[in-house]
Structure 1
Amino acid sequence: MMTYRIGIDVGGTNTDGVLLDREMNVIHSLKTPTTTDVETGIYHAVHQLMKASHIDKEDIAFAMLGTTQCTNAIVERKKLNKVAVIRIGAPAGMAIMPLTGVPEDLRSILDNHTYIVEGGHEFNGDVISALNETELKDIAEDLKGKVDSIAITSIFSPVNKDHESRAEEIFRDVMGDDIAVSLSSEVGSIGLLERENATILNAAIIDVAKTTADGFEKALMNNGIAAKVFFCQNDGTLMSKAYTLKYPILTVACGPTNSLRGASFLTDNKDAIIVDVGGTTTDIGVLVKGFPRQSSIAVELGGVRTNFRMPDINAIGLGGGTIIRIDGDSFKIGPDSVGHRLQEEALVFGGTTLTATDVAVGLGVVKLGNPEKVSHVDKNLFAAIYGRMVEMVEEAIDKIKTSATDAPVILVGGGSVLLPEQIQGASYVLRPENGGVANAIGSAISQISGEIEKIYSISKDNRQEILDKAKQLALTETIEAGADSNKVEIVDMESIPLAYLPGNATRVKVKAAGDLALG
């Protein structure tokens, strides 16, 4: 029996789908408009894939979904959970209140149930003050029926998470096991306010993640497909539904990540700059050894400063549907876009809005729609607009590079046809076949990953033994998550001495990744 896999990527404009065989050959790919309820768009994509490929639905072994739904919920402030914010850190951690610096519109949604209780740890893991369990029980009783998600953050919990774990036990005892609980020690890194913000956002999007995950499963089921389901996370690997519902924040920016991974796969290039041109934005990222380069600074998400793991992506407001406004000899490019309405609103398709696609068609860069519809616009003005569009991309590439030397550039995404063959700053430009659905391909070819982060007491004598043990733990976790035991490898490892902890304490972080087990 042949084993196939479906990859779906739900963007703001299009839902892309791809069908791959066991050898990762692209059997069929397509784009369908994203629908308001995600499920319908996914259903159409899967239905058309199956219809066009004539594959027996019983031969579909895996289905992977990458989605921007959680990101959009945060940015648009829609469909968010009712969250209780619990900070464990009184009296030491009361100088700055939770949600300080968060935009007012988001704060008004989230800042209804905020508490600071006694507890927390020093930077060396010692207790600052005892956890006030009585107060936590009272808070849990008070919150019954008022919230559906709890965000718990304790001071220096990445070093010692005992108080967060105990607080979770108390809330579950009082409010039941169905209550969603997010712990900051599992979401962010050192830095109380940014870690707390990331945890609150994670708690706020759990229902959105559940709706999306259920919609994906239902869309597959309605097509008669009983495949094993996985969801894409923003480091280019996969996670189970249960893991996704616990850490939905890790799906944020998985769309650009999937495009980077897809571009790497399509060109067999593991170190390059990827330019992903969509309908609304162009996302630019860097491939390092086949995986996206991670951001090393605090990341803003929907105006909120956070410090959870994120790919280093430079996004600009330029895409195929970007609206161009002309005023005499001057013009303005975006940042707004007609999005998935491109085929109704762009001039070359009979619409009334001048878009970036119209400019490219008017100059003969790409053949789409009816070029006669833009023949009335001055070609010199079009040339000036197009020149500025290319400059925007070149400037964005320049910003993400770490050296002045030219680097390979891979163009992917449905709007990549708008860009020229030569780009300043590029040693060469590749435009791979099937690059228009690189994001869906990235989701389909994604690997399973496992990661461990522990603090060990390391000396010169036991260093290698402990590092080997940490590697084995990461490999085991990856295999248990569904990876093929013969195809797992360590993809990242770091050990950082903690000078403020006694006994040669060292934080060891190991990440492993491997192909899905096909058995």
Structure 2
Amino acid sequence: MFRIGIDVGGTNTDAIILDEQSRLIHSVKSPTTLDIKTGIETSLRNILKEASIDKTKITHAMLGTTQCTNAIVERKKLAKVGVIRLGFPATASVLPYTAWPKDMVEKLSGNYALVHGGYEYDGKLLSELDEGEIKELLVEWRNKVESIAIIGVFSSIKNDQELKVRDLIWEAYGKTYPVSCSSLIGSVGLIERENATILNAALCKVIEITSTGFENALEAEGIQGAEVYLCQNDGTLMSIEYAKQFPILTIACGPTNSIRGASYLANIKNTMVLDVGGTTSDIGVLQDGFPRESSVAVEVGDIRTNFRMPDIISVGLGGGSIVRVDNGKITVGPDSVGYKITEEALVFGGSTLTTTDIAVRLGLADVGDKSLVSHIDEQFSKQVLSVISSIIAKAIDKMKTSSEDVQIVLVGGGGVIIPDEIPGVASIIKVENGGVANAIGASISQISGQYEQIYIYSREPREQSLRDAEEKAVKQAVMAGADPTTIKLVEVEETPLAYHPENATRLRVKVVGEMS
């Protein structure tokens, strides 16, 4: 039995094959193409050709993709979204799409409606839902929008109104119509939760194209009957059907794949990970084998959101970063030759000085033709290395929770450019096969489920609240493709809400299980 893992990076698309003991059988790297799809197909074709395994024994295939991230950043392939906010007239002072980039609003149609509904912070009714109002709106929107986002005031406490509106939409437009409910996506905070839900709704076409394209690529290579999964941004996997409901969860899955892969390769569950690619370097923290989650609102495509995101710092430094001297000052990046490194870097006969050229000159890497960089002054090369060290040291410092020196696990194909000594780093662990840690992370991941809600312990005792949240997290994990018999509770986070008279607490529960 074999598993295939593919991870799409900014420079390379990596593919690996693992056996049933999770041992690496073979790995390949192919340049990431402009349309992404071609790069995935090339990597898949190459690895199957080179590994020479029985295709009928491939049981699982996993994909970590940047398609959803790119769609938001580039404003491409997005669906026309209708936004229904349940909170009239209480929330009319701040309308949907407030503070959004104008081009993004135009791309998504800008259709929104404030209707009656919503709850108070303590779960009391703010306004009754008016079904007739919703039905009239759906008649008006027919053929104008391709997906609908539903956002209820304090639906993180009580979401029955959101689910009722979803049922009304399905009655009018059909059960397959894409609907996103904010209570299943974001956290406390109406505007940020609304923004995340709108983006999720906008990605329905992108995820359909991505998932169908991956399944077709597998079929074209003779792989049939394999379970297909996409990577989530918490270092776990989800089924295709679940991904179609929550495509926003694929955003930033690349760095988390590398962090999970680093944990597996180094056999360490608590450390800091530095993943160096061709264009950027990502720094994250492992806690009990999973990426640390960000505790602050995150901007995606210049839009402020509050859905689950990994705590990652990215810097414009990679194996293809361009090295320049400007008025006597050495600069490294943030621009890069990217996937064209084999054409443009000096060691490959190109004319652009990159960090890889410096690494080869100093004997840190053995790629290309080292005679083509022999003319570079050694002292200058060491100064460039010092600049690289400084860039990484500053980024690591931002991720620290104490002043002590930290341990780093170094992975990624661009890791050869990183010096052996970095200020603030006690030790650097370099692992075998670290260059494809991202694809390995995609392949060895489990299935997770997460649930978050505000509970009022004075009305519903803590133990009962914990049990309810865990049951709902387990349900999410099963929907995502987990085997119910293997699911375990891995994380509980309780945040008391200040000034609430009845001991209200934001409770977040996470469970993890094996693939079914």
TM-score (norm 2): 0.94
Deviations 1:43-84 (CA, angstroms, capped at 9, x unpaired) = 222222222222111111111111111111111222211112
User: What is the correspondence of 1:33-182 to structure 2 with a 5 Å cutoff?
Assistant: 33-182=31-180
2-side partners of 1:488 and 1:88: how far apart? 35
2-side partners of 1:483 and 1:176: how far apart? 28
Aligned to 1:256: 255
2-side partners of 1:260 and 1:234: how far apart? 11
Q: Quick one: percent identity of the two aligned structures? A: 51
Any idea what SS the aligned residue of 1:414 has? Answer: coil
Deviations 1:187-230 (CA, angstroms, capped at 9, x unpaired) = 10111111111111111112111111111111111111121001
TM-score (norm 1): 0.93
Shift in Å, 1:501: 7.4
User: What is the correspondence of 1:52-451 to structure 2 with a 5 Å cutoff?
Assistant: 52-226=50-224, 227-451=226-450
Any idea what SS the aligned residue of 2:262 has? Answer: helix
1-side partners of 2:171 and 2:73: how far apart? 33
- Which amino acid in the other structure matches residue 71 of structure 1? T
Deviations 1:290-315 (CA, angstroms, capped at 9, x unpaired) = 00000000011111111000000000
1-side partners of 2:456 and 2:442: how far apart? 38
Taking structure 1 as reference, are residues 79 and 472 closer, same or farther at Cα in structure 2, changes over 3 Å only? closer
1-side partners of 2:298 and 2:475: how far apart? 31
Is the Cα–Cα contact under 8 Å of residues 492 and 511 in structure 1 kept in the other structure?
Answer: yes
For structure 1, list consecutive stretches of 5 or more residues without a partner in the other structure: none
Shift in Å, 1:372: 2.9
1-side partners of 2:283 and 2:460: how far apart? 44
Taking structure 1 as reference, are residues 492 and 139 closer, same or farther at Cα in structure 2, changes over 3 Å only? same
Is the Cα–Cα contact under 8 Å of residues 40 and 219 in structure 1 kept in the other structure?
Answer: no
Is the Cα–Cα contact under 8 Å of residues 43 and 222 in structure 1 kept in the other structure?
Answer: no
Shift in Å, 1:385: 2.1
Shift in Å, 1:236: 1.0
Aligned to 1:29: 27
1-side partners of 2:422 and 2:11: how far apart? 26
2-side partners of 1:480 and 1:178: how far apart? 16
Shift in Å, 1:482: 4.1
1-side partners of 2:451 and 2:335: how far apart? 41
Deviations 1:88-123 (CA, angstroms, capped at 9, x unpaired) = 211110111212122233233235312222222111
Taking structure 1 as reference, are residues 51 and 353 closer, same or farther at Cα in structure 2, changes over 3 Å only? same
Count of residue pairs brought into register by the alignment:
515
My pick for the range that moved more, 392-401 or 416-425, is 416-425
Taking structure 1 as reference, are residues 115 and 454 closer, same or farther at Cα in structure 2, changes over 3 Å only? closer
Is the Cα–Cα contact under 8 Å of residues 329 and 381 in structure 1 kept in the other structure?
Answer: no
Shift in Å, 1:360: 1.9
Shift in Å, 1:476: 6.3
Taking structure 1 as reference, are residues 499 and 101 closer, same or farther at Cα in structure 2, changes over 3 Å only? closer
For structure 2, list consecutive stretches of 5 or more residues without a partner in the other structure: none
Any idea what SS the aligned residue of 2:113 has? Answer: strand
Aligned to 2:509: 510
2-side partners of 1:195 and 1:132: how far apart? 22
Deviations 1:464-518 (CA, angstroms, capped at 9, x unpaired) = 466456545645664575445564321111345567878766554322112224x
1-side partners of 2:5 and 2:39: how far apart? 14
Taking structure 1 as reference, are residues 68 and 386 closer, same or farther at Cα in structure 2, changes over 3 Å only? same
